Structure 1
Amino acid sequence: MDLNKKIWQWIVFLGLSLIWGSSFILMKKGLDAFTSNQVAAFRIFISYLAFLPITIKHFNKIKKENIISLLIVGFIGNAIPAMLFTKAQTRIDSSLAGMLNSLTPMFTLFVGLLFYKSRILLINIAGVLLGLIGAIGLVNNGQNILFGYNSYAIFIVIATIFYGISANEIKFKLPGMSGIAIAALSFFFIGPFAGIYLLFTDYSCAINSGFFLPGLGYISILAIFGSFFAVMLFNTLIKHTSAIFGASVTYIIPLIAIMWGVVDGEPFTINNLLWMTVILVGIYLVNKRKLIRARL
């Protein structure tokens, strides 16, 4: 797989969209048995265990000059968002969670401009804004309201800001480290905390729910695919493209979330299709680098 080639960049992009677009329904299933913090902790700890062989291989890459960046990617880019999303999904639908996740590229752009001095084409800004309009259109079409739908939506907004910080940190502060190493070493710092939490948390409600094993199964799938494989692919993708292009995977996530909703009996309208088209055009513009030479 050569991520210097456009075709592989788009294959990975679509694969990530499918994996992360399905993660919200998996979180929802996990919440049938476990609390929001338990779901997040299991996701992190299982991923940590999966990463251990890779962590051992790359452990000597932890240096004084990169440890802060790895901590940022671990806690701000993975641990805290995992808790925020599961907390939000105790009150909002999984499809809406996927839709709100589309705010990530916007915050990636703003964080990059403000703190990382990233160079952005005007056409990229147009693509981000167009994609954001499409995402908002999907949310409004599905729920008739955006942030007023439920105050718990603010947790996802905060998580998308953190994703934006993490994406830029990887792109600009860890250029010499592979995406796989970044993923493994960042989980090395957060995994033990999740494990300690799981040792002392109360599982009585989960056991009595009758969904303990199925719920744990859904969370395991979420951890292996949504964190272990997907985080490695994402980190590698943004190192070969841009933080904004990588974060734009969150524009496709709502489409997958809606598809899961259709499977679950939710309606699909022509308006959904129209807003999806707007999002796809936005992603195309985000990935353009040569149409406009003027840079901010």
Structure 2
Amino acid sequence: MNGINLKWVYLIVLSVIWGSSFILIKKALLGLTPYQLGALRVIITGLFLFLAGYKNVKAIRKKDWKWLIISGFLGTFFPAFFFAIAETEIDSAVASILNSLVPLNTILLGFAVFKIASTRRQVLGVVIGFLGTSILILKGAELNPEQNYLYAGFVIASTLMYAANVNIIKRYLQDVKPLTIAVGNFIPIVIPALVILLFTDFFNSSTFNNPDFKMSIFYIVLLSFFGTALAKVLFNKLVQISTPVFASSVTYLMPIVALIWGVLDGEGFSLIQGVASLIILFGVYLSHKRTS
């Protein structure tokens, strides 16, 4: 399979995995606090990655460690907590929709900070995708007026971190294997996550006696393995075989998956949101259509 088709396979697989992550977070919050969820997600994912790639640690060069640490905190640690906090107030589908700001921020940060150029076609595609996202947000606010949209700030902050992370991987970690990047990301963030978990009263009997506790742990394991460990490796590979803008456009497809899960879970969805989803897809296509 050539590189052109392969990057689209990665994009679609990641869209399904990450688009499903938001409903898993929502379900896990039934038996856990957002801080417990974030900490457990980091710790369990770290265990999966260490088992799969502990031998890769020896291959990490000294000059790469700085960027792996920064990448780990920006791309995983803080967003793991921020998304959990956000979903205590806003729907899982809305959180996914807001996450679509990543490509726009990737272009802005890539140009302003990392000196990575984007074409006018890419910029136009991102703007169109962002227009579709805006329609989804406005309609979502109309359907759910009781939601506290101040908590959307946690998602927006995460999109800035994701955008910085994808540019860091492309510019400074291009020649590092995807699994090595993922393992290197988690080495510096597992200990802080464990410390946070210890201060959340997770090990008190009241936590274990919660009737939703067992299912919440099950959702966290699914989220950690598929939504973080496996997805991190796939995403790192996607960044390396494509561009930062193309890789970050996975966040345009994720809301469609998340909205489907949201509807199945009783969250509202309208015809206008369906049209907005099609606008988003067109933006993705336009951003990455080959020039003649």
- Decide: shared fold, TM above 0.5: yes
Q: Distance in 2 between matches of 1:27 and 1:270?
A: 26
Once the two structures are superposed, what CA deviation does each residue of 1:218-277 show, in whole Å capped at 9, x if it has no partner? Answer: 011000000011011001001100111111000111111110121123343321221111
Question: What amino acid does structure 1 have at the position aligned with 2:267?
Answer: E
The Cα offsets for residues 52-97 of structure 1, whole Å up to 9 and x where unpaired, read as 1344211123322111110111001110111111111111111110
Task: Go from structure 1 to structure 2 and tell me whether the alpha carbon gap of 1:126 and 1:104 turns closer, same or farther (over 3 Å shift).
Answer: same
> Which range is displaced more, 112-121 or 46-55?
46-55
Written as runs of structure 1 = structure 2, the 5 A alignment for 1:1-296 is 4-144=2-142, 149-203=148-202, 204=204, 205-290=206-291
1:294 is matched with which residue? none
Unaligned runs of 5+ in 2: none
**Partners of 1:136 and 1:146 within 8 A in 2:** no
8 Å contact kept, 1:140–1:146: no
SS of aligned partner of 1:32: coil
The two structures have a TM-score, normalised by structure 2, of 0.94
Residue 22 of structure 1 contacts residue 256 of structure 1 at CA under 8 Å; is this kept in 2? yes
Q: Percent identity?
A: 36
CA-based RMSD:
1.9
Please state whether the residue corresponding to 1:111 is helix, strand or coil: helix
Q: How much does 1:200 deviate?
A: 4.5
Provide the rounded CA distance (Å) in 2 between the counterparts of 1:259 and 1:145.
Answer: 16
Long gaps (5+) in structure 1:
292-296
Asked whether the equivalents of residues 25 and 84 of structure 2 are also in contact (C-alpha less than 8 Å), the reply is yes
C-alpha displacement of 1:206:
2.7
**Is the Cα contact below 8 Å between 2:129 and 2:280 reproduced in 1?**
yes
Distance 1:145 1:111 in 2: 32
Q: Greater shift after overlay, 281-290 or 75-84?
A: 281-290
Residues in 2 aligned to 1:89 and 1:133: alpha-carbon distance in whole angstroms: 23
In the TM superposition, what is the alpha-carbon distance from 1:12 to its structure 2 partner? 1.3
Cα 1:219–1:265 shift into 2, 3 Å: same
Counterpart of 1:153 in structure 2: which amino acid?
Answer: A
